[in-house]
Amino acid sequence: MGLYSTYIFPRFMDWLMSGAEFQRLRSSLLKDVQGEVLEIGFGTGLNLVHYPSDVARLAVADPARFLPQVVAERISAASFPVETHQITAEALPFSDHRFDWVVSTWTLCSVGEPTQALKEVRRVLKPEGHFLFLEHGRSRNESIAAWQQRLNPIQNLIGCGCNLNRRIDQLIDQSGLRIVRLDRFHMETVPRIGGEMYHGWASPNA
């Protein structure tokens, strides 16, 4: 990893994504999560303070280790055990049907093979489990979508692999997960090209 991706990007990402609107969305997404939980794309652990104390254990999967000291402090303040795995979501080292909930926030934009990662999510979820997602992606507005397409190569570079133009609902469908609820909206504090949101949950039972 270079200087930018090791030192500059993680600090910028942590600062940007801890803003008030991000915090409000994280809180509302995670309020009902409980039991055995997996988070894919843990980043700097910004979701940790929003999990309810009903979480029995949280496993997290991320190939990067951003801001390790900050993350260690956030983990030690959690009221439940946190298991960290430096791995990609495309190959999860967990047995089938282990988790009650799998959580993904602003992650599917960056995963190399998102459909494969979502197939893994489906495999590790209990049959009655929930896949909770809060992701940015391709706009329904054709003019914005065209700008997302144009600017994607630049975003890929400055966002360390982040894509602006993914159809998150389509990727979830392709994995065999069944979308039960999907809300589309755009964030108020983020430019439309990066703030077109897909929010909801999916079931492993197709």
Site residues for ligand SAM, 101-160, by CB under 6 A, read 105-107, 110-112, 117
Q: Does 41 bind ligand SAM (CB under 6 A)?
A: yes
Q: Does 195 bind ligand SAM (CB under 6 A)?
A: no
Q: Coil, strand or helix: which one is 199?
A: strand
- Indicate if the alpha-carbon torsion angle 130, 103, 84, 57 is positive or negative: negative
Q: Does 40 bind ligand SAM (CB under 6 A)?
A: yes
Q: Please, what is the Cα angle at 194 between 193 and 197, to 5 degrees? A: 105
Q: Does 82 bind ligand SAM (CB under 6 A)?
A: no
Q: In this complex, which beta carbon is closest to ligand SAM, that of residue 21 or of residue 128?
A: 21
Residue 63 Cβ vs ligand SAM, minimum distance, rounded to whole Å: 5
Residue 117 Cβ vs ligand SAM, minimum distance, rounded to whole Å: 6
Q: In this complex, which beta carbon is closest to ligand SAM, that of residue 62 or of residue 100?
A: 62
Residue 82 Cβ vs ligand SAM, minimum distance, rounded to whole Å: 14
Measured torsion, CA atoms of residues 11, 13, 16, 18, in degrees rounded to the nearest 10: -90
First-to-last alpha carbon distance for the chain, in angstroms, is 39
Residue 160 Cβ vs ligand SAM, minimum distance, rounded to whole Å: 7
Residue 53 Cβ vs ligand SAM, minimum distance, rounded to whole Å: 20
Q: Coil, strand or helix: which one is 125?
A: strand
For the record, the structure tokens of 119 come out as 């197939």
Residue 106 Cβ vs ligand SAM, minimum distance, rounded to whole Å: 4
Side chain identity at 176, as an amino acid letter?
G
Segment near ligand SAM (CB under 6 A), from 99-107, 124-132, 145-153, 181-189? 99-107
C-alpha 39/C-alpha 48 separation (Å) is 10
Q: Does 64 bind ligand SAM (CB under 6 A)?
A: yes
Where is 100: in which H helix or E strand? Answer: strand 99-105
- Binder among 46, 71, 92, 197 for ligand SAM (CB under 6 A): 46
Q: Strand 82-85's sheet: what is its strand order?
A: 82-85, 55-61, 35-40, 99-105, 125-136, 196-203, 178-186
> Would you tell me which residues interact with ligand SAM (CB under 6 A)?
13, 17, 40-41, 43, 46-47, 61-64, 88-90, 105-107, 110-112, 117
